[in-house]
Amino acid sequence: MVATSITPDEDSPLIREATRADLLSIYRIETQVFEQPWPYPAFEGFLAEPNFLIAAANGSIAGFIVADVTPTYGRDLGHIKDLAVHPTAQGNGIGRRLLQRAVLGLTVEGVGRIKLEVRKHNSRARRLYRSEGFEPVTRLSGYYDDGEDAIVMAKQPEQTHIFDTE
């Protein structure tokens, strides 16, 4: 496993892999952002994933994303499972940066497609995903515990050839 972080300039948060020490802050953000948050142990299960990332700004965690790879009979499938930004840090591009970094990580892992589920009424998140190339694929009726539908969105990652010999 190669630890990577991205800090393009002083005003941007540090994007890095989540660690066990980050879990309480991640869970606190989850419970502030979502009405039906993931349980704390769910995050522990993703600690080994290279695309479980946090955005650190001003000495604290401003947001996180959980993404992983599902093996398939064709090319593997990337799955954005959770993305949240602390309420006081929303609107500053942190969610977009986390999403872009996770998509890059999944692309490097060689996935053929990346998918996610988003609440039907979460228009802000849906706009973000569309602006990053995700398109609606289908609707899952009653997907969430409260009965709200989910919109499944997907995109083909842009495959780049790092070692192009021509």
- pLDDT tens-digit map of 23-50: 999 999 999 999 889 999 999 999 999 9
pLDDT tier for residue 6 given thresholds of 50, 70 and 90: very low
Q: Which domains does the chain have, with CATH numbers?
A: 15-116 (3.40.630.30)
- Token pair 């490097």 is found at 108
Q: Which of 47-51, 71-75, 95-99 has the lowest mean pLDDT?
A: 71-75
Q: Write down the H helix ranges in the chain.
A: 23-33, 40-44, 94-108, 123-131
Phi, psi of 8 (to 5 degrees): -70, -30
Q: Which two tokens stand for residue 130?
A: 């569309």
Could you give the CA distance from residue 144 to residue 141 in angstroms, rounded to a whole number? 9
- From the centroid of its chain, how far is CA 46? 12
Contacts of 79 (CB under 8 A, 6+ apart): 67, 68, 69, 70, 114, 115, 116
The distance from CA 89 to its chain's CA centroid, rounded to whole angstroms, is 16
The pTM is what? 0.88
pLDDT averaged over the chain? 90
